[in-house]
Amino acid sequence: MKKKDYLLLFFLVLLMGAGIISYADSCSRKAAGRSLSLSDSRDEIDIPVLMYHSFCKDSSGENEYTISADRFEGDLKWLRDKGYTTIFPSQLISYVNEGAMLPSKPVILTFDDGFANNMLYAFPLLQKYNMKAVIALIGSESDKSSSDIYRNREHGNLNWGEVAILSQSGLIEFASHTYDLHSISQERKGADRKSGESSDQYRNILTEDLLKNQDLIEKATGSFPTAFAWPYGSYPADRIADPILRDLGFLVTFTSYQHTSGITRGEPDSLFGLGRYLRTPSFDIEKII
Ligand SMILES: [Zn+2]
């Protein structure tokens, strides 16, 4: 052992003696990996969820559902400066079911529909600020994009290869936004129940569609999606779909009702029907949160 190694050992023994670090502590931290052994002492938290859809290069392309890259960067800076930390839905689930730790001011960023412009404009900014988001994917649209060599990345949807790349970044989690129920007809709005449809018929239609989307997302990302975003925020008022979604393995669902939701530890039901704020060019983030 060299002289400097003896000195290092001496300081370590000194620190352990003073109780500043302990062997047991360092072991439990190693075992915990992501500090999962630590539990959150809060029984309830409020979680603001922001809802985005499309992103564009500059303000000339903005509309109610499209935000420029600059405006999105402004949101990320504002959240950072105000001490917010972006989290994944899976972290909310761990908080409720396992008491896992959450940051003091958590926020969730959701991108609906799975547009390729999410990767083009928003993802580089998430990387720049090391922030997380969840993309709610319409599987049938990603299927079409995957076989469309002329797809426009400004307006088309993510293909499955891009979904895999984003998932591997560690900054994006994928949720389901239905495989092919993202449309409005006279009879049905999104994944809502059709009038006159029996509960068995509705269960079968929802199950077939959502299972297909979960399978495709799992194949692309390696993770089974447990979060669901209701298309158009429209879901059965009697919440008949909640048990169907639970049976499919969904643990958190998002609506489009604009409010902050309270999440209660030990109450998995509190993760169903979370409100979200639609970020439009005219809706200031400071007023939302
Ligand atoms: Zn949508």
Average pLDDT, the chain: 89
Shortest CA distance to 213 belongs to which of 243, 235, 180?
180
Distance CA 67, CA 51 (A): 11
- Residue 113 CA to ligand 1 center (angstroms) comes to 5
- Residue 263 CA to ligand 1 center (angstroms) comes to 24
239 Ramachandran zone, left/alpha/beta (phi>0; psi -120 to 50): left
Across residues 148-153, what is the average pLDDT?
Answer: 92
- Residue 39 CA to ligand 1 center (angstroms) comes to 35
pLDDT at 63 over 80: yes
- Residue 119 CA to ligand 1 center (angstroms) comes to 17
φ, ψ for residue 67, nearest 5 deg: -120, 140
pLDDT at 8 over 80: no
Distance CA 137, CA 115 (A): 8
Tell me the CA distances in angstroms from 184 to 92, 128, 209, one per residue in order: 31, 37, 16
- Residue 175 CA to ligand 1 center (angstroms) comes to 12
- Residue 64 CA to ligand 1 center (angstroms) comes to 13
Give the environment of ion ligand 1: residues with CB less than 5 A: 112-113, 231
- Residue 41 CA to ligand 1 center (angstroms) comes to 35
Q: What pLDDT is stored for residue 43 in this prediction?
A: 94
- Residue 49 CA to ligand 1 center (angstroms) comes to 15
Across residues 80-103, what is the average pLDDT?
Answer: 96
Distance CA 32, CA 38 (A): 8
- Residue 278 CA to ligand 1 center (angstroms) comes to 12
pLDDT at 12 over 60: no
- Residue 276 CA to ligand 1 center (angstroms) comes to 13
Q: What pLDDT is stored for residue 286 in this prediction?
A: 82
- Residue 8 CA to ligand 1 center (angstroms) comes to 57
Q: What pLDDT is stored for residue 273 in this prediction?
A: 95
- Residue 231 CA to ligand 1 center (angstroms) comes to 5
- Residue 82 CA to ligand 1 center (angstroms) comes to 29
Helices (H), 157-198: 160-168
In terms of C-beta density within 10 A (0-12 exposed, 13-18 middle, 19 or more buried), how is residue 288 classed?
middle
Per-residue 3-state assignment (H helix, E strand, C coil) for 218-229 = HHHHCCCCCEEE
76-114 burial string, b = 16+ CB within 10 Å, else e? beebeeeebebbbbbbbbbbbeebbbbeeebbbbbbbbb
What letter does residue 147 receive in the DSSP assignment? T
Distance CA 171, CA 130 (A): 7
- Residue 53 CA to ligand 1 center (angstroms) comes to 8
Shortest CA distance to 174 belongs to which of 89, 277, 263?
89
Reported pTM: 0.86
Question: Coil, helix or strand for 136?
Answer: strand
- Residue 192 CA to ligand 1 center (angstroms) comes to 13
Q: How many CA atoms lie within 13 A of 254 on its CB side?
A: 34
- Residue 230 CA to ligand 1 center (angstroms) comes to 8
- Residue 76 CA to ligand 1 center (angstroms) comes to 22
- Residue 109 CA to ligand 1 center (angstroms) comes to 14
Measure the CA angle with vertex 132, ends 38 and 111; round to 5°: 135
Q: What pLDDT is stored for residue 132 in this prediction?
A: 98
Is beta strand 54-56 parallel, antiparallel or unpaired with respect to 66-68? Answer: parallel
pLDDT at 184 over 50: yes
117-139 pLDDT tens trace: 999 999 999 999 999 999 999 99
In this structure, are residues 55 and 121 in contact, taking their beta carbons and an 8 Å threshold? yes
The H helix count followed by the E strand count for the chain is 11, 12
Q: What pLDDT is stored for residue 38 in this prediction?
A: 74
Question: Coil, helix or strand for 22?
Answer: coil
Helix or strand holding residue 44 (H, E): strand 44-47
